[in-house]
Amino acid sequence: MKTLDVKQHSVEWHQARLGVVTASEADALITPTFKVSEGKGVETYLYKKVAEKFLGYAPETGGTFSMEQGNVIETIARPWYAFQYNTDVKEVGFCVSDDGRIGASPDGMLPDGSGLEIKSPQGAAHLKYFVNGEVPPEYRVQVAFSLYVTGAPYWTFVSYHRQLPPLVVRVERDPRHMALIETALGAFFDKFDAIYAKLKTWKDAADAPARAAYEAQKAAYEATGKIPD
Protein backbone atom coordinates (compact mmCIF):
# COMPACT_ATOMS: atom_id res chain seq x y z
CA MET A 1 0.00 0.00 0.00
CA LYS A 2 1.06 3.57 -0.75
CA THR A 3 -0.20 6.77 0.85
CA LEU A 4 -0.49 9.70 -1.53
CA ASP A 5 0.23 13.10 -0.01
CA VAL A 6 -2.79 14.91 -1.40
CA LYS A 7 -5.45 16.97 0.34
CA GLN A 8 -8.77 15.20 0.44
CA HIS A 9 -11.36 16.66 -1.95
CA SER A 10 -8.63 18.56 -3.84
CA VAL A 11 -8.16 18.32 -7.62
CA GLU A 12 -5.18 16.01 -7.05
CA TRP A 13 -7.26 13.76 -4.78
CA HIS A 14 -10.04 13.46 -7.34
CA GLN A 15 -7.45 12.71 -10.03
CA ALA A 16 -5.89 9.94 -7.92
CA ARG A 17 -9.28 8.25 -7.57
CA LEU A 18 -10.02 8.01 -11.29
CA GLY A 19 -10.64 4.41 -12.30
CA VAL A 20 -9.96 3.23 -8.74
CA VAL A 21 -12.45 1.25 -6.65
CA THR A 22 -12.67 3.23 -3.42
CA ALA A 23 -13.97 2.45 0.06
CA SER A 24 -16.73 5.05 -0.16
CA GLU A 25 -17.99 3.46 -3.40
CA ALA A 26 -17.45 -0.21 -2.55
CA ASP A 27 -21.11 -0.64 -1.64
CA ALA A 28 -21.71 -0.77 -5.40
CA LEU A 29 -20.04 -4.20 -5.34
CA ILE A 30 -20.95 -5.53 -1.88
CA THR A 31 -24.18 -5.41 0.12
CA PRO A 32 -24.40 -4.26 3.77
CA THR A 33 -24.94 -7.93 4.71
CA PHE A 34 -21.67 -8.79 2.94
CA LYS A 35 -22.84 -10.54 -0.18
CA VAL A 36 -21.54 -9.87 -3.68
CA SER A 37 -23.89 -7.40 -5.37
CA GLU A 38 -25.48 -8.20 -8.70
CA GLY A 39 -27.51 -6.30 -11.25
CA LYS A 40 -27.59 -2.85 -12.80
CA GLY A 41 -25.81 -1.08 -9.95
CA VAL A 42 -22.65 -3.11 -10.45
CA GLU A 43 -22.81 -2.63 -14.21
CA THR A 44 -23.25 1.13 -13.88
CA TYR A 45 -20.27 1.36 -11.51
CA LEU A 46 -18.16 -0.79 -13.85
CA TYR A 47 -18.72 1.53 -16.83
CA LYS A 48 -18.17 4.58 -14.63
CA LYS A 49 -14.75 3.35 -13.47
CA VAL A 50 -13.62 2.20 -16.94
CA ALA A 51 -14.65 5.54 -18.42
CA GLU A 52 -12.75 7.43 -15.73
CA LYS A 53 -9.54 5.52 -16.40
CA PHE A 54 -9.79 5.73 -20.17
CA LEU A 55 -10.83 9.38 -20.38
CA GLY A 56 -8.71 10.63 -17.49
CA TYR A 57 -11.48 12.66 -15.94
CA ALA A 58 -14.86 12.27 -14.26
CA PRO A 59 -17.93 14.51 -14.51
CA GLU A 60 -18.15 16.93 -11.60
CA THR A 61 -20.76 15.72 -9.17
CA GLY A 62 -20.53 18.65 -6.78
CA GLY A 63 -21.69 18.40 -3.20
CA THR A 64 -24.73 19.16 -1.08
CA PHE A 65 -24.94 21.57 1.83
CA SER A 66 -25.18 18.62 4.23
CA MET A 67 -22.01 17.10 2.78
CA GLU A 68 -20.13 20.37 3.11
CA GLN A 69 -21.38 20.86 6.66
CA GLY A 70 -20.34 17.30 7.49
CA ASN A 71 -16.84 17.93 6.18
CA VAL A 72 -16.53 21.01 8.38
CA ILE A 73 -17.72 19.20 11.52
CA GLU A 74 -15.31 16.31 10.81
CA THR A 75 -12.46 18.78 11.27
CA ILE A 76 -13.82 19.32 14.80
CA ALA A 77 -14.43 15.62 15.47
CA ARG A 78 -10.86 14.60 14.63
CA PRO A 79 -9.14 16.67 17.38
CA TRP A 80 -12.00 15.76 19.76
CA TYR A 81 -11.18 12.07 19.28
CA ALA A 82 -7.45 12.70 19.72
CA PHE A 83 -8.06 14.52 23.00
CA GLN A 84 -10.72 12.15 24.29
CA TYR A 85 -8.62 9.05 23.69
CA ASN A 86 -5.20 10.64 24.33
CA THR A 87 -3.76 9.66 20.97
CA ASP A 88 -2.32 11.21 17.85
CA VAL A 89 -4.51 11.30 14.75
CA LYS A 90 -2.64 11.76 11.51
CA GLU A 91 -4.46 13.26 8.55
CA VAL A 92 -3.76 11.40 5.31
CA GLY A 93 -4.70 11.90 1.71
CA PHE A 94 -5.37 8.74 -0.27
CA CYS A 95 -4.27 5.20 0.55
CA VAL A 96 -3.93 3.13 -2.62
CA SER A 97 -2.91 -0.47 -3.24
CA ASP A 98 0.46 -1.16 -4.83
CA ASP A 99 -1.23 -2.02 -8.13
CA GLY A 100 -3.21 1.25 -8.01
CA ARG A 101 -6.58 -0.42 -8.43
CA ILE A 102 -8.24 0.08 -5.03
CA GLY A 103 -8.03 2.85 -2.46
CA ALA A 104 -9.43 4.49 0.64
CA SER A 105 -9.40 7.95 2.20
CA PRO A 106 -9.31 7.49 5.99
CA ASP A 107 -10.44 10.38 8.13
CA GLY A 108 -7.35 9.75 10.20
CA MET A 109 -4.71 7.14 10.96
CA LEU A 110 -3.70 6.18 14.50
CA PRO A 111 -0.18 5.33 15.75
CA ASP A 112 -0.93 1.59 15.84
CA GLY A 113 -1.75 1.52 12.12
CA SER A 114 -5.53 1.51 12.51
CA GLY A 115 -7.79 4.15 11.04
CA LEU A 116 -10.80 6.35 11.65
CA GLU A 117 -14.04 6.73 9.75
CA ILE A 118 -15.82 9.86 10.98
CA LYS A 119 -19.39 10.77 10.10
CA SER A 120 -21.15 13.96 11.14
CA PRO A 121 -24.82 13.39 10.35
CA GLN A 122 -27.82 15.52 11.13
CA GLY A 123 -29.31 15.20 14.61
CA ALA A 124 -32.02 12.60 13.93
CA ALA A 125 -29.70 10.30 12.00
CA HIS A 126 -26.94 10.61 14.59
CA LEU A 127 -29.35 9.88 17.43
CA LYS A 128 -30.50 6.73 15.64
CA TYR A 129 -26.88 5.61 15.22
CA PHE A 130 -26.16 6.32 18.89
CA VAL A 131 -29.19 4.40 20.17
CA ASN A 132 -28.46 1.41 17.93
CA GLY A 133 -24.86 1.42 19.13
CA GLU A 134 -23.32 -0.13 16.01
CA VAL A 135 -21.90 0.85 12.65
CA PRO A 136 -24.89 1.81 10.49
CA PRO A 137 -25.54 -0.63 7.62
CA GLU A 138 -24.79 2.01 4.99
CA TYR A 139 -21.20 2.37 6.26
CA ARG A 140 -20.26 -1.23 7.03
CA VAL A 141 -18.80 -1.96 3.62
CA GLN A 142 -16.84 1.30 3.63
CA VAL A 143 -15.21 0.38 6.94
CA ALA A 144 -14.45 -3.20 5.85
CA PHE A 145 -13.01 -2.01 2.55
CA SER A 146 -10.77 0.48 4.36
CA LEU A 147 -9.46 -2.43 6.43
CA TYR A 148 -8.88 -4.42 3.24
CA VAL A 149 -6.98 -1.63 1.48
CA THR A 150 -4.78 -0.63 4.40
CA GLY A 151 -4.25 -4.02 6.03
CA ALA A 152 -5.10 -2.43 9.39
CA PRO A 153 -5.98 -4.74 12.31
CA TYR A 154 -9.10 -2.76 13.22
CA TRP A 155 -10.97 0.44 12.36
CA THR A 156 -12.81 2.94 14.55
CA PHE A 157 -16.16 4.31 13.40
CA VAL A 158 -17.17 7.64 14.92
CA SER A 159 -20.49 9.42 14.56
CA TYR A 160 -20.13 12.93 15.97
CA HIS A 161 -22.65 15.66 16.70
CA ARG A 162 -21.75 18.75 18.69
CA GLN A 163 -24.93 18.69 20.80
CA LEU A 164 -25.43 14.94 21.24
CA PRO A 165 -23.38 12.11 22.77
CA PRO A 166 -20.92 10.55 20.31
CA LEU A 167 -20.94 7.02 18.98
CA VAL A 168 -17.55 5.29 18.88
CA VAL A 169 -17.39 1.69 17.61
CA ARG A 170 -14.29 -0.44 17.14
CA VAL A 171 -14.52 -2.81 14.15
CA GLU A 172 -12.14 -5.75 14.06
CA ARG A 173 -10.77 -7.13 10.82
CA ASP A 174 -13.00 -10.05 9.75
CA PRO A 175 -11.32 -12.65 7.49
CA ARG A 176 -14.70 -13.62 6.02
CA HIS A 177 -15.34 -10.05 4.90
CA MET A 178 -11.82 -9.77 3.49
CA ALA A 179 -12.31 -12.95 1.46
CA LEU A 180 -15.65 -11.74 0.12
CA ILE A 181 -14.18 -8.38 -0.90
CA GLU A 182 -11.42 -10.21 -2.77
CA THR A 183 -13.98 -12.34 -4.59
CA ALA A 184 -16.05 -9.31 -5.57
CA LEU A 185 -13.00 -7.41 -6.80
CA GLY A 186 -11.79 -10.39 -8.84
CA ALA A 187 -15.08 -10.62 -10.73
CA PHE A 188 -15.23 -6.84 -11.17
CA PHE A 189 -11.71 -6.45 -12.56
CA ASP A 190 -12.12 -9.39 -14.95
CA LYS A 191 -14.91 -7.41 -16.64
CA PHE A 192 -13.05 -4.11 -16.23
CA ASP A 193 -9.94 -5.43 -17.99
CA ALA A 194 -11.94 -6.93 -20.86
CA ILE A 195 -13.73 -3.65 -21.58
CA TYR A 196 -10.57 -1.59 -21.20
CA ALA A 197 -8.67 -3.88 -23.58
CA LYS A 198 -11.41 -3.40 -26.18
CA LEU A 199 -11.12 0.39 -25.83
CA LYS A 200 -7.32 0.21 -26.07
CA THR A 201 -7.54 -1.82 -29.28
CA TRP A 202 -9.91 0.73 -30.77
CA LYS A 203 -7.67 3.64 -29.77
CA ASP A 204 -4.54 2.01 -31.18
CA ALA A 205 -6.30 1.48 -34.51
CA ALA A 206 -7.66 5.04 -34.52
CA ASP A 207 -4.22 6.48 -33.77
CA ALA A 208 -2.37 4.33 -36.36
CA PRO A 209 -2.61 6.79 -39.31
CA ALA A 210 -1.31 9.69 -37.21
CA ARG A 211 1.56 7.57 -35.89
CA ALA A 212 2.46 6.43 -39.41
CA ALA A 213 2.51 10.02 -40.68
CA TYR A 214 4.72 11.08 -37.78
CA GLU A 215 7.18 8.27 -38.37
CA ALA A 216 7.34 9.15 -42.10
CA GLN A 217 8.09 12.79 -41.32
CA LYS A 218 10.70 11.81 -38.76
CA ALA A 219 12.44 9.50 -41.25
CA ALA A 220 12.42 12.18 -43.94
CA TYR A 221 13.93 14.74 -41.58
CA GLU A 222 16.68 12.35 -40.46
CA ALA A 223 17.49 11.58 -44.10
CA THR A 224 17.51 15.17 -45.43
CA GLY A 225 17.89 17.39 -42.41
CA LYS A 226 14.83 19.32 -43.57
CA ILE A 227 11.35 19.46 -42.12
CA PRO A 228 8.94 17.97 -44.70
CA ASP A 229 6.22 20.23 -46.07
pLDDT in tens, 137-193: 999 999 999 999 999 999 999 999 999 999 999 999 999 999 999 999 999 999 999
What pLDDT does residue 229 have? 62
Rounded Cα gap, residues 115 and 23, in angstroms: 13
**Residue 227: inside a domain, yes or no?**
no
Mean pLDDT along residues 81-93:
95
pLDDT over threshold 60, residue 65: no
pLDDT over threshold 60, residue 69: no
**Residue 175: inside a domain, yes or no?**
yes
What pLDDT does residue 34 have? 97
What pLDDT does residue 224 have? 75
Residues 6+ apart with CB under 8 A from 119: 70, 74, 129, 139, 157, 158, 159, 160
**Residue 140: inside a domain, yes or no?**
yes
Quickly state the pLDDT bin for 55 (edges 50, 70, 90).
very high
Rounded Cα gap, residues 78 and 84, in angstroms: 10
Percent of the chain with pLDDT over 70: 86
State phi, psi for 100 to the nearest 5 degrees.
75, 15
Count structural domains, the chain: 1
**Residue 205: inside a domain, yes or no?**
no
Mean pLDDT along residues 62-72:
52
Q: Which helix (H) or strand (E) holds 32?
A: none
Give residue 76's domain range. Answer: 2-200
**Residue 217: inside a domain, yes or no?**
no
Is pLDDT larger for residue 69 or for residue 10? 10
What pLDDT does residue 181 have? 98
State phi, psi for 56 to the nearest 5 degrees.
80, 15
What pLDDT does residue 205 have? 85
Percent of the chain with pLDDT over 90: 79
**Residue 179: inside a domain, yes or no?**
yes
Mean pLDDT along residues 91-104:
96
Considering 66-70, 76-80, 99-103, the range whose residues carry the highest mean pLDDT is 99-103
pLDDT over threshold 50, residue 212: yes
CATH of the domain at 94: 3.90.320.10
**Residue 215: inside a domain, yes or no?**
no
Q: Which of 105, 104, 110, 102 is nearest to 81 (CA)?
A: 110
CA 36 to chain centre: 18
**Residue 41: inside a domain, yes or no?**
yes
